[in-house]
Amino acid sequence: MKKLILAAGLAGSLVLGTAAATFAAPASAVLAAASASYDQKLAVAVKFGLGDDFALIEKLDRDFVIGIWDHVKDNPDQVEVRVAAETAFTSDPDLSYEFITVEVFAAFDRDVERERAEAETKRASDLARTAAAASIDVVADAALLDGNDTDFVRLIWERVAEDVKWPKVKAAARTARDGSDTDRTAFIANGMADAARQDIDDRIAADEAKTEAEKAAERARAAKKLAANRIGLTVTEELLDLPDRDFIIKVWNHTAAGSEVQAAAIAATRSLDPAVWKAYIDTGLHQAVDRDIQIALDRKYQADKTLAQQIKATAAKNKDLNLVHWTDKALAGTPDQLDTFLRVGQYDLDLNTSFGTGDVQPSWSNTVAWANGIVNVAGICCKLTGPELGVRTEPGHTGATSLMYAGLDNSATKSYAYLKSMALSRITIKPTTKLSYWIYPQANTVRPEVKPANSTCVAIDLLFSDGKNLRDSGLKDTRGNRAHPAFQCNKVTVGKWNEVVVPLGALAGKKVTTLVVAYDQPAATGGYRGLIDDVRIAD
């Protein structure tokens, strides 16, 4: 442990506990763990283009994982590998071995699959928007394809706002623009094409210069054009001039085998009834496209649920109960909410817990945060083997439970106890992020061993993926006190709930890996005890 001299008010000889070296190993590192072979590390290094970095390959497992993490940490295309590496090197040594031999390859594959799924989603979106725009004779450009659904609807509305040809499209676009996300999705999928068909029919019906036969022929060509646009079939005069049955055969050959559109096209082709052909072109193809979309959405939802369950299982294995909590919440939500969680939300989590039923629970109880993380602090009484940290059924700031801390300080010159509480991942500090919690330092009315002032020398500490921590960052809470347990002594009131808020914006970009609750006070002896509740790391 480094030694720092306390500020004025404490004797110059008194020292307080701070972090061990950068990337300090967890306490369990003293236990024997399996080690990866040179060839196993070489295989990983080659995977990331580092096969000639012999110094990296010869590192110990944990240091090797840190090297891989350092290589991918700023690459958004390898976020799964980054998160898996952070989990491995900030946890038990066995996880570094598992990362090298198994998890890094699984994480790499997840990144590849995520990129593939994102590309497929973009392709499907481009196809739907291209078809929608084509229904009003607009070629979809980058502005129409690259924005979100709201942008697309707004741009369409702007294009038809002064165009007398498309009054129903204009009205439908306005409704979608002012409506919900679901309304905008429906407008792009079929609402715009339906409105365009109505506008075309209205124009044809109002054309007094054409005979009814000519109007019928024009409607038939318009229906073919809309149908072709819906499935991305290139529209040509030759295509529009085809007899209905031949047009349907073109659709059959253009569409994917096994699709609803193709199946309906085959069924229509088998018929010799022209009314069946017309019905397929006018409405049947569009209905089949809608069925294909729904089938694809159902399959995606099932795949998303499977992936979320895998994320949950891995998180539970790694004791990352905050990720378990958010994954459960996503699984209980709508398909859109689950999709958003998998694409974006899982990589940008908050922490918010009151330790009650349904809240995020601690990953550990009574567990030292790193080797030598407890010095001159024992159990408060009753033959306890060490300081305590765990959930108790004691009234919290909100609810009936809270996180209890307790211990017995045995030295008037050097004493601290850093106990880890939560394994965390996917929490990235932003300029607006704050750590907040409520703390209730208890007096000797709870236990006779307690010295009330000692109970105030406790604070939440955060460990980051780069090996740094909150307590040594120099940050202060909103009351002007350093976010270090030794600098919280006598800064909170005994026998009442005190809110502590630490703005973390100066640490923007850092990624939280562990939440620690620490007692640190060189200057006194005696017991300490208290409660913590309503812990948040959020914007």
Tens digits of residue pLDDT in 398-428: 999 999 999 999 999 999 999 999 999 999 9
Beta bridge partners of 15: 5
How is 375-397 classified by DSSP, letter by letter?
Answer: ESEE-SSTT-SS-EEEEESS--S
What pLDDT, on a 0 to 100 scale, did the predictor assign at position 439?
99
Q: What is the pLDDT of residues 425-461, one digit of tens each?
A: 999 999 999 999 999 999 999 999 999 999 999 999 9
Residue 6 in this model has a pLDDT that exceeds 60: no
For residue 512, count CB atoms less than 10 angstroms from its CB and return exposed for 0-12, middle for 13-18, buried for 19 or more: buried
Does the predicted model carry a pTM greater than 0.75? yes
Residue 2 in this model has a pLDDT that exceeds 80: no
Q: Residue 163 contacts by C-beta under 8 Å, 6 or more apart in sequence?
A: 170
Cα separations (Å) of 65 from 156, 317, 511? 50, 19, 16
CATH of the domain spanning 353-538, picked from 3.40.50.720, 2.60.120.260, 3.40.190.10, 3.90.730.10: 2.60.120.260
Q: Across residues 131-141, what is the average pLDDT?
A: 94
What pLDDT, on a 0 to 100 scale, did the predictor assign at position 33?
60
Q: Across residues 52-59, what is the average pLDDT?
A: 96
Q: What is the pLDDT of residues 316-331, one digit of tens each?
A: 999 999 999 999 999 9
The confidence band for 207, taking pLDDT boundaries of 50, 70 and 90, is: confident
Q: What is the pLDDT of residues 230-252, one digit of tens each?
A: 999 999 999 999 999 999 999 99
Residue 11 in this model has a pLDDT that exceeds 60: no
Rounding to the nearest 10 degrees, give the CA dihedral for residues 226, 228, 230, 232. Answer: -140
